[in-house]
């Protein structure tokens, strides 16, 4: 493949460094999804919409820090705030003013966030959400979605990848306490849920499947699950770690009239610094209050040495402040660029591809025989993922455009229509070369 040769030619220093990385890191990486064949380029800096690698190649980035960088890499407002904070110092290990400022912004924008606890990753936030749901309800089973991704917590590391029947890892105990249900299929989901309703602590779901294929849930599905959960004294945990502050200033759930018990946030609300946030109604979060409850009646949630550290709180506050101030410009702009990308890419590929997504998120699926729509992860998994990889890799090797191969793209406020047009041209070339073979 000429793309592989082109890539190897332009990433010689990366190749050497990745070899060094592989000697000391498992698979050469510190997050499984960051590896791609033949080796990932090594980044030395980033700015605005660009990543720059050690060979000085520039890539227009659509991975955008695991989709966390809605204002782009190193936006001035956030950088200035972080510089000021560094002067004051970067780790207190005590209650600090920066946390209160960020929480005041979140609580006003996210109605369910009557009480908040911080962690350092989204993984911890979902882990705590599960523990809290079990503690509040006194029940054990958590239902998740086939293809749902909530981070590396042992509690939810099951049914992530096709055929959704097993855990992603060894070392996980009590797997029978995690059950999975098919996304966007209320009837089948309710059949499964009905069988375990007496021990169902909660249902955790992303309103738009992120890692599972960039697929929005229908309102009917989400409402149906919520109704079932509340009828059976179980909790609804909405994982808005990707969707929170992505489509509007706030969460997605109020726009679909949901009434979740717990919402988890991360990514964008940390403005590129480590964060996980657990938001809940007062009557739920009071179970985490350590002042009165017996140990067996309360949940330990949030915490960790670096929870609510002043750097994350500062970058989160600066990011949300900018989003709030410019929400009437930023969201319409990035949402319409997302629509433009979906529409135009769809025109190039025609019926060979389905482009899923919402707002500024989009993902290309090369359909295999029999797939006519993508409304769940099973359909996404059955698509031709090799072609998707080739497509993304071609853009890395020849067009200076970076999607983490196989993953959805996220448009940030620093991307322009011209940038999307470059994807369209690169896609056109890819498709012409593919069809002329
Ligand atoms: C929906 C969702 N929940 C949770 C997580 C885990 O967050 P983190 O990677 O910060 O641990 C992710 C990460 O991609 C995610 O997409």
Domains of the chain, each with CATH number or no CATH: 2-62+326-435 (3.90.1150.10), 76-325 (3.40.640.10)
CA–CA gap between residue 10 and residue 399 (Å, rounded): 12
Which residue has the CA at smallest separation from atom 15 of ligand 1?
150
The tens digit of pLDDT for each residue in 86-129 reads: 999 999 999 999 999 999 999 999 999 999 999 999 999 999 99
For residue 297, the model assigns a pLDDT of: 83
| Least confident range of 205-219, 292-306, 381-395 | 292-306
CA–CA gap between residue 9 and residue 219 (Å, rounded): 48
Task: Give DSSP secondary structure letters for 95-114.
Answer: --HHHHHHHHHHHHH-TTTT
Look at residue 229 and give its three-state secondary structure. helix
185 close to 168: Cβ distance less than 8 angstroms: no
CA 148-152-157 angle, 5° bins: 50
CA–CA gap between residue 314 and residue 118 (Å, rounded): 13
106 close to 269: Cβ distance less than 8 angstroms: yes
The mean per-residue pLDDT over the stretch 384-407 comes to: 97
Which pLDDT band, with edges at 50, 70 and 90, does 293 fall under? confident
User: Which has the closest alpha carbon to 131: 264, 311, 307, 292?
Assistant: 264
Asked whether residue 384 carries a pLDDT value surpassing 90, the answer given is yes
The tens digit of pLDDT for each residue in 1-10 reads: 699 999 999 9
Partners of 353 in the beta sheet? 366
Asked whether residue 77 carries a pLDDT value surpassing 90, the answer given is yes
78 close to 319: Cβ distance less than 8 angstroms: yes
| Residue 209, number of CB atoms within 10 A of its CB | 28
For residue 385, the model assigns a pLDDT of: 95
Asked whether residue 292 carries a pLDDT value surpassing 80, the answer given is no
CA–CA gap between residue 280 and residue 273 (Å, rounded): 22
CA–CA gap between residue 15 and residue 36 (Å, rounded): 12
The tens digit of pLDDT for each residue in 199-228 reads: 999 999 999 999 999 999 999 999 999 999
Instruction: For a ligand 1 pocket test, name from 151, 183, 215 the mutation site with the most ligand atoms within 8 angstroms of its C-beta.
Output: 151
Conformation bin of residue 29: beta by default, left when phi > 0, alpha when psi is -120 to 50: beta
The mean per-residue pLDDT over the stretch 365-383 comes to: 95
Tokens of 369: 């025989």
The mean per-residue pLDDT over the stretch 226-253 comes to: 98
Collect all residues with Cβ–Cβ distance below 8 Å to 90 and sequence separation of at least 6: 309, 310, 311
Q: If you measure from the C-alpha of residue 415 to the centroid of ligand 1, how many angstroms do you get, rounded to a whole number?
A: 23
- Please give the number of the atom of ligand 1 that sits closest to the Cα of 123: 11
For residue 296, the model assigns a pLDDT of: 84
The mean per-residue pLDDT over the stretch 295-305 comes to: 89
386 close to 24: Cβ distance less than 8 angstroms: no
The mean per-residue pLDDT over the stretch 402-416 comes to: 98
As a whole number of Å, the CA-based R_g of the chain is: 22
Ligand 1 cavity residues, CB under 6 Å: 66, 121-123, 126, 149-151, 206, 210-211, 239, 241-242, 266, 276
Rounded alpha-carbon distances, angstroms, from residue 275 to 241, 245, 327, 394 = 10, 14, 22, 33
Which pLDDT band, with edges at 50, 70 and 90, does 26 fall under? very high
Cα dihedral sign, 378-69-324-411: negative
Q: If you measure from the C-alpha of residue 267 to the centroid of ligand 1, how many angstroms do you get, rounded to a whole number?
A: 8
- Please give the number of the atom of ligand 1 that sits closest to the Cα of 121: 10
* Long-range contacts of 22-26, Cβ-Cβ distance < 8 Å, separation of 24 or more: none
- Please give the number of the atom of ligand 1 that sits closest to the Cα of 211: 16
Sheet holding 401-402, edge to edge: 43-47, 50-53, 58-61, 401-402
Q: If you measure from the C-alpha of residue 151 to the centroid of ligand 1, how many angstroms do you get, rounded to a whole number?
A: 5
Say which residue, 196 or 437, is predicted with more confidence: 196
% residues pLDDT > 90 (the chain): 95
For residue 1, the model assigns a pLDDT of: 67
CA–CA gap between residue 202 and residue 136 (Å, rounded): 10
Partners of 235 in the beta sheet? 202
CA–CA gap between residue 354 and residue 346 (Å, rounded): 7
Q: If you measure from the C-alpha of residue 147 to the centroid of ligand 1, how many angstroms do you get, rounded to a whole number?
A: 13
For residue 388, the model assigns a pLDDT of: 97
CA–CA gap between residue 111 and residue 137 (Å, rounded): 22
Q: Distance from CA of residue 311 to its chain's centroid?
A: 21
CA–CA gap between residue 230 and residue 259 (Å, rounded): 10
The tens digit of pLDDT for each residue in 313-357 reads: 999 999 999 999 999 999 999 999 999 999 999 999 999 999 999
CA–CA gap between residue 132 and residue 417 (Å, rounded): 44
- Cα-Cα end-to-end distance for the chain: 12
Asked whether residue 294 carries a pLDDT value surpassing 90, the answer given is no
- 235-274 burial, b at 16+ Cβ within 10 Å, e below that, comes to bbbbbbbbbbbbbbbbbbbeebebebbbbbbbbbbbbbbb
Instruction: For a ligand 1 pocket test, name from 67, 123, 130, 253 the mutation site with the most ligand atoms within 8 angstroms of its C-beta.
Output: 123
Tokens of 247: 């489509």
409 close to 363: Cβ distance less than 8 angstroms: yes
For residue 302, the model assigns a pLDDT of: 84
For residue 64, the model assigns a pLDDT of: 98
Which residue has the CA at smallest separation from atom 3 of ligand 1?
150
CA 398-399-403 angle, 5° bins: 105
Report the mean per-residue pLDDT for the chain: 97
DSSP category for residue 121: S
CA–CA gap between residue 231 and residue 195 (Å, rounded): 14
- Number of residues assigned to the chain: 437
């Amino acid at each position: 493949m000429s793309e592989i040769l082109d890539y190897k030619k332009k990433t010689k220093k990366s190749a050497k460094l990745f070899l060094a990385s592989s000697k000391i890191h498992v698979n050469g990486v510190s997050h499984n999804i960051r590896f791609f064949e033949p080796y990932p380029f090594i980044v030395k800096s980033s700015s605005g919409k660009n990543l720059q690698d050690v060979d000085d190649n520039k890539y227009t980035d659509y991975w955008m820090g695991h989709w966390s960088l809605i204002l782009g890499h190193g936006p001035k407002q956030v950088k200035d705030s972080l510089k000021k904070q560094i002067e004051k110092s970067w780790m207190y290990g005590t209650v600090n003013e920066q946390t209160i400022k960020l929480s005041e912004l979140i609580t006003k924008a996210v109605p369910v966030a009557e009480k908040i606890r911080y962690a350092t990753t989204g993984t911890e936030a979902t882990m705590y959400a599960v523990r809290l749901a079990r503690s509040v309800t006194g029940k054990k089973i958590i239902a998740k979605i086939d293809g749902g991704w909530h981070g590396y917590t042992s509690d939810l590391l099951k049914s992530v990848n096709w055929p959704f029947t097993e855990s992603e890892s060894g070392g996980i105990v009590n797997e029978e306490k995690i059950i999975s249900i098919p996304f966007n299929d209320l009837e089948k989901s309710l059949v499964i849920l009905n069988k375990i309703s007496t021990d169902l602590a909660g249902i955790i779901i992303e309103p738009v499947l992120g890692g599972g294929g960039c697929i929005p849930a229908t309102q009917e599905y989400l409402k149906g699950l919520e109704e079932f959960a509340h009828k059976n004294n179980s909790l609804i945990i909405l994982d808005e770690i990707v969707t929170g502050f992505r489509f509007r200033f706030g969460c997605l759930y109020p726009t679909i009239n949901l009434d979740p018990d717990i919402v988890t946030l991360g990514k964008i609300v940390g403005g590129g610094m480590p964060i996980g946030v657990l938001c809940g109604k007062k009557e739920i979060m009071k179970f985490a209050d350590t002042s009165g409850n017996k140990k067996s009646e309360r949940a330990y949630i949030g915490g960790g040495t670096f929870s609510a550290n002043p750097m994350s709180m500062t970058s989160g506050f600066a990011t949300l402040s900018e989003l709030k101030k410019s929400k009437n410009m930023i969201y319409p702009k990035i949402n319409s660029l997302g629509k433009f990308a979906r529409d135009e890419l769809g025109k190039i590929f025609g019926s060979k591809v389905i482009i899923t997504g919402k707002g500024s998120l989009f993902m290309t699926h090369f359909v295999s025989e029999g797939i006519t729509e993508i409304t769940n992860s099973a359909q996404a998994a059955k698509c031709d993922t090799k072609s998707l990889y080739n497509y993304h890799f071609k853009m890395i090797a020849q067009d200076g455009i970076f999607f983490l191969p196989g993953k959805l793209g996220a448009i940030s406020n620093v991307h322009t229509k011209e940038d999307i047009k470059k994807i369209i041209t690169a896609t056109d070339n890819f498709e012409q070369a593919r069809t002329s073979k």
